[in-house]
Structures are given as structure tokens and as C-alpha cells.
Chains A and B, each alone.
Chain A
């Protein structure tokens, strides 16, 4: 009995800690008083303030653009790579796996420094392209891992059957493997999209003044002080992430259909 109370007490405290700040933030985004401590009355004015802030909206569009392209590219490369890593044995496979693991484990700041060093040396203008390359790089391993683990649950005879019936590798990839691995591919895309939208550390190194993106804009806004329109923006972004994670969890739970 005491064990049960202790267990659920501990778990409840944990979740209060994880969720209280988020809840307070969302509640405040509807609060008419500016200080955000005392409840005034229900309002959506911060949302319209956010919507009418053109600088903020431009940054949001830039972020969505980078996130969409980066997630798509990372998903294409990552899915191809995962299939190849799963199917073939070759020299250097361990090294490739190792590098993917290193990218995942290495702190953002290390990747930020190294990519900036590269861009400065080869003379890439900091902005859209440098951001895109950086975002594809940090998303890539997550797609590979997500797709690879899905492939491990496959029936290998399906692929052999396709080959025996004369399908080329590419055809097998497009007609058999991608549809079967679709939930993991989609989840990889969603995760990449979210990671790209959220990244502060790497982006702050590899973007230039001409191309402003949302997290950095938010960062410069909240450094100065608490602004209610940031609450509104935060609530929108939280909702977006929540939808993404819900879809991806749903997709990953799907049993392989074939």
C-alpha cells in the first residue's frame, strides 16, 4: 500500500516538474495582464500581436522552409542509407555506424564549431544553405536509426521474392521497402522537422544576419525580458510539437502490415 502511494507520488511529482512550466506558459498566453503572475481576464490579444509582428512571422516562414527541406533531404538520404546498411555487408560498415553514433551523441556546440569552421574555410555565405547543410547533418542519424530498426522486423523473403521476380534494386526499394517501412520513414521526417525547428545552438553559429529563423528570434526576444507575444508563440510551437510527437508515436506503434 505504502509502496503504491510512494510509486505514484514519485511519478506524479516527476510529471508536475516536467509539465508545470509548460502549463503556466500556455495559461499565461491567454492572460490579459502583462506581468503574467496575476490573472486578469481571458484574451487572445497576444496571439494577434504575434500574428501582426512581421519580423516574427518572417522568421517563422524561414524556419518552416529550412525545416521542410532539411527534413526531406535527411529522410531521403537516411532511408537509402538505412536500407543499404541493413542489407549489405561491406568494409567500413562499422566506421559508418560509428560516425552516425558520434553525430547523435556529440554535443550540439561541437558540431556548431566544426561546421562554422568548414563554412568559413570554403567560403560559404552564412544563411539558408549553411543552415540547411547543418540541419540535414544533425537529422540524418535519427532517420537512419528509426528506419533501420523498422527494417529489422521485416520478413527478408519478401525482398528475395521481389528479386526472383526480376525487380531491380531500385524498384524493390520503391515498391516494397519504402511502403513497408513507411511509418518509420514518416516518423523520421517528423522528428527531423521538429529537431530543425527547435535547434538554437547550431543555428546560432551557422546563420547570418540576412536570414533570421524562429528559435534565434525568440532567443533575442526573451533575453531582453518576458514578452506576452512570446507566450503566444510558445503555445503555438508547443501545440505543433505535440501534434508531431503524437503522430510519430502512433506511426511507430503500427505493426508491419506485410
Chain B
């Protein structure tokens, strides 16, 4: 056994692991249960409560009494950016063609029932069921999550390393990687990660002094642990949280140390345009940067991430606009990375959907620019949302817009059936669990 500065060996081990990827170029080792549209799904919960007006309707400042309109989501939607009354710093789009050209936009969807709160919105999206649960309950949801459906109904059973849930913040969100449902639960859960903590200052402060053991030493340690465990009738399976296989744990541990090393040596690639300082990074962009690290290392079949900074709209409309613009850049950046990856390119479908909308009328707060703030208190406007489904032309209809204000198409709870359809396990989910439907309009 040797002490070390914590990174070197972990980096070497990980390099070895990457040199011999455990996933085939198709991204799969085994035949799936059903027909698939793609082998990888990335879901971006474009969260924090997004007003339809400033996103899809491209109204920019018109709700604030200014005539200026324009498209803040230049990487996702077609439309010219605002040209006057700018309260944000425009970034050149990273995509030459917006995502809507590479997929289908569900322009008007509904968050039909239940409070339009963030935890409710996330829970509805991830479980496919609306919920009345109050905010900030650190409880795993009642209904199974999309991760559990995926792992239980995709044969042979998928390891947790193939499904990830990455949130911008903590709060109740770590609890969304598996449910309390007796037929599913932690054994089918996703690997949860909050990068801003694991790879942020806490990770760098507390995870930089690791010792490592030679493989022979690990065998001896495991042998002693095995002896100790035989003399105790309770297992670690009773411990809260998901369980990875020993092999996957080693891969993930190496990934953690390797990524900390890359962070501390400024080797993380950030979703920023050339020449833009890292001071411009937001929590959303940090989450997307590390989501790419996960995608690059593990090529998971199912990855769900969120952005959350847009929630600044409660008190700062100017920041809300800026964060929306930056989150759009992050989505475009992530898609661009995926399209340049040998495993993920042309075999990934991206779904981008807000957790819920935002009120039509402002609250009483004005920001420094005199712009009014908006809450989300379950008015009809806060039930308006959209979804963008992007993927290979052979599988996803390109440059298509579905639904309008008069005829909304789709609901929040349709996300889970749609993901299950893409990954080929929808028909194996027991009846009665998913009230939503597959958003079939998006697929060829």
C-alpha cells in the first residue's frame, strides 16, 4: 500500500478502464427486451419554472411594458434574438442549426393537475404521475421512477451505472433516484450525483487526501470484511441508497477521483463560448459540464439532469432572462458534445422539458432594472410548458411543431412513457402505473 496524492493512480486506473470500454460501440452489451428507437436518452428538465411567454412565445420584455421581443433560446428554437433593451449578455449560439430543426417541438403541453411546485414538477416528470406532495419533503416518491422502470424492465437487469440522475441543487432532489414502491425501490434506482458538491469546493477540500491500496491489499481487506460480515446478520442492502456492483463501484470511484483531478487542474471543459470567463458559469452550466463527464465516461443509457437557476424569476426577472439564455447554451453545448462522441452520436435522443410554467401576472417584486418578478402559484399560465424531442432523422421527426394554445398536445406525465418507448420497455410496465401516453407524434 502506498500513500499518494490522491489522483495519480486513480487517473491511471481510469485511463485503463477507458482504453477498454465495457460498452460496445452500440452502447449495449445485451439484446434489449423490446425494440428501441435509440440506445441512449438524455433528459434535460429545463427547470425552475419557465414562463411560456419568454421561452416559446419569444416575447422577451413585452410583459414588462417594452415593445422589444426576441428569442432567448437561440440553440433550441428558431427566431431572432432581441436586439434592443438588452438586459443580458448575448452569447453566440453554439449550434449552427437550432435543435427544433433536428426534432419535434411540442409547443403547448400541460401540467394538468397538482401544485406547480418544483418538487412536484420534478416528481411528476420523473415518475409519470402528478403528485400533491408538499414542497421540500425529503421522501422518495410513491410511484416508481423512470430509472426503476428502465432497470427492472430491460433485460438482463441493467446496472445502476447505466442510469444517472444529476441535479443542480440538493434539497429534496436526491430522493428522486428511486421510489418507495414495493415492486421497485433502491435496487432499481439511478446513480444520483450533485456535481456542484462532489466536484465543488467540498469535494476538493475533503476528497484530496485519499490513500489507495494495491490490488493485493484490497483482496485482503475484502477477505477480512467478508469474515466480519458473516458474523453479522444484517447486510448493507438495508442501508439507504442504491447499490452498485463491486466492479461498477471501482469504476465510479475512479471517475470521482479523476474528475476531481480534472477540476483541480482546470481540465474540465465548461459550456462557455470562446473568450467568456468562468465567472459567467451558472449552476446549470456546471451541472451540464459534469453531465458530459458522466456521458463521456459511462455512456449511460438513461441520464436525467436539471437546470434550476431560472427560478431567480421569483425576485429577479433580469437574472431569469440571463439564466434562460445560458441554460439554452448549455443544452446546445451538450447536444454538440453528444454528436461528436463515437458511442453517443446518432444513437441518442434528447428530451428537453421544463418542470412547469410560471404565472401570468407578476408579484410585487421589482428588480434593479425595474422589471417585475413572477411566481408559480398554480394559475393556468403556470401549467403551460413545452417539450423538445431531438434525435436521429431516421427515428425522430425533424423540424416539426405540434400543438398550440387552443389545442395543447401532451402532458408532463408523458415523459416517462416516452422514454420507455424510446428504450424499448414501455410494454413491460404493469398496467395502471402510468396514466400518461407516449408522445408518438415525435417519432417516425
Q: Do A and B bind each other?
A: no
Residues of B within 8 A of A (CB): none
Q: Which residues of A contact B (CB under 8 A)?
A: none
